[in-house]
Amino acid sequence: MADTLQAAKILVGISGGIAAYKVCEVVSTLAKAGSDVRVILTPSAEAFVSALTFATLARHAAYTDGNFWSATQARPLHIELAEWADIFLIAPLTANTLGKLAHGLGDNLLTNTILASNCPVLLAPAMNTDMWLQPSVQRNWQQILADGRYHAVGPGAGRLACDRIGTGRMAEPHTILSALASLQHTQGRQDLRGKHILISTGSTQEYIDAVRYIGNPSTGRMGIALATAAVHRGAQVSLVHGPMDSHLRQSIPDTAQTTAVVSAAELESTMMAQLYTADWIIMAAAVADLRPKVQVTGKLAKADLPNPLPLETVTDIAAKLSANKRADQTLVGFAAQTGDMVAPALGKLKRKGLNAIVANPVDQPESGFGSDLNHGLFLDQQGRQIPLLKGSKLSMAHQIYDALLSPKDYSSTKL
């Protein structure tokens, strides 16, 4: 996800909390991906992680209050850093620093730099549950989020460093990185607020017996990216996913409503049940085309496997959704393609009655099933063909939403 931040200038502010150690991974990942990173530590933060550690990880000097004013500086440091930054991350955000931000106070290098800057600010709170739930802290939190510059990631729930189990845990590094990437793309626009987006993702598995099934290599990464981008842009998200590993499940946004399914029949039933509540429906799942006519309970011996295996056609879920959706709903399909993408995708667009389709080349390196990267082509009923440039799947998800939201802003080739 950090690939979308390669050219970004990111200022990371660290206040005094034990979660500061997690920010080491964030800074290191950004620097390795090619981002230009600068770090500011408050005096309290230095008690947890040294400026030398962050300077090494960022490949640039880290700043403390000792650097605030210097006779060798042509201009004040907080002004230079504020004007330099594209995005400002504050992690961990403590109750103390939150209170200062909410009331416009500047008594150290970090808070003065925030006041002098105009770029989007991503806040990653971290504190004890009782501290987080204090009415005064919640008032400050709501007050700062009312300012359009400030955006939140977390806090999450779990076991805290104080051994308390509850809300107050700083967001994990991968969650912070994806939020930064989205913020770089959108500059904080909440242009999906008020929309309910229903997304399917991953593979389906059609069981022959207890241990054998017909499936495909889809992991669900693209659908999770679509869910993540939609959440970052303010949408309510429902995600219906096939079997996926626990690591991927952990990357699904906490605010997304999730339903796990296995077979195409289960996916069909779930999507139809949730169809009428959604504004947009995105069928990113790789659904099986065929299934065994009979599923056996228990395991068949190899010698007892039917040869040939009797198969039947699976319902075309996208076409069924299209036939049952309202005129004011938008249905987007995906087409995993090899070779020519345009003609097959156009055929599916028209045959299934979709509003738009994303053609995805699965026969090219770093694209399609299982890859962290992706690219493709967005086609719609208005005759547009919009290239989706190679990048992270999160980047591609944002490009898809851009195309859906702003059709007049895109140059296109008529089909």
Residues marked active site are found at 162
Non-local (6+) Cβ contacts of 309 within 8 A are 208, 292
| SS3 sequence of 49-99 | CCHHHHHHHHCCCCECHHHCCCCCCCCCHHHHHHHHCCEEEEEEECHHHHH
Question: Measured between alpha carbons, how far is 91 from 211 in angstroms, rounded to an integer?
Answer: 46
Non-local (6+) Cβ contacts of 280 within 8 A are 195, 196, 197, 198, 329, 330, 331, 332, 404
Residue 302, phi then psi, degrees to nearest 5: -55, -40
H-type alpha helices, 158-305: 173-186, 221-232, 246-250, 264-274
Question: Measured between alpha carbons, how far is 278 from 272 in angstroms, rounded to an integer?
Answer: 11
Q: Using an 8 Å Cβ cutoff, are 334 and 361 in contact?
A: no
H-type alpha helices, 146-216: 173-186
Nearest to 69 by CA among 98, 112, 121: 112
Report which residue type is found at 398. Answer: H
Q: Using an 8 Å Cβ cutoff, are 240 and 265 in contact?
A: no
What's CA 232's distance to the chain center, in Å? 7
Q: Using an 8 Å Cβ cutoff, are 370 and 336 in contact?
A: no
33: left (phi over 0), alpha (psi -120 to 50) or beta: alpha
215's tokens: 């499936």
Q: Using an 8 Å Cβ cutoff, are 186 and 157 in contact?
A: no
Non-local (6+) Cβ contacts of 396 within 8 A are 222, 225, 374, 375, 376, 388, 389
Residue written as token pair 């504004």: 279
